[in-house]
Amino acid sequence: MLKLKLFWQRFTEAWTSCLLCMVQGDLTVISLNHAFTASKTGFTAALAYVALSYSTKFSGSKIAAVWLISTCTMLADLLIHPTHFGAEMSEAICTGIGAGLIAYVSISIFKK
């Protein structure tokens, strides 16, 4: 049950970051297609995060958790869809940074 909760937390962080980067912050243009694409990125990133969270190197460290979800989100975004702005990796990098910032705030607030 703990891993399911962890999956859901990381999914929402990656999904939110991906959705916001895809629409470049303009919430008025969000569509179901954007939400679906962001859910694929969130699912892939969260699945990779949970799989890698079994490693003892990542357990218990806030910085390692933030780095890991940032990296997983960036790679998932890069694999799931093409960029919507800038160079080939620019949106994926922004999405990863966004997910990391959301995760940092989330971990800081909701840490047991």
Q: Is the dihedral of CA 104, 89, 47, 53 positive or negative?
A: negative
Report pLDDT for 74. Answer: 94
Report pLDDT for 62. Answer: 84
Give the integer Cα–Cα distance in Å for 71 and 93.
9
Report pLDDT for 58. Answer: 65
In the predicted model, residues of the chain with pLDDT beneath 70 are 56-59, 112
Question: CB count, 10 Å around CB of 37?
Answer: 18
Contacts of 82 (CB under 8 A, 6+ apart): 88
Report pLDDT for 3. Answer: 86
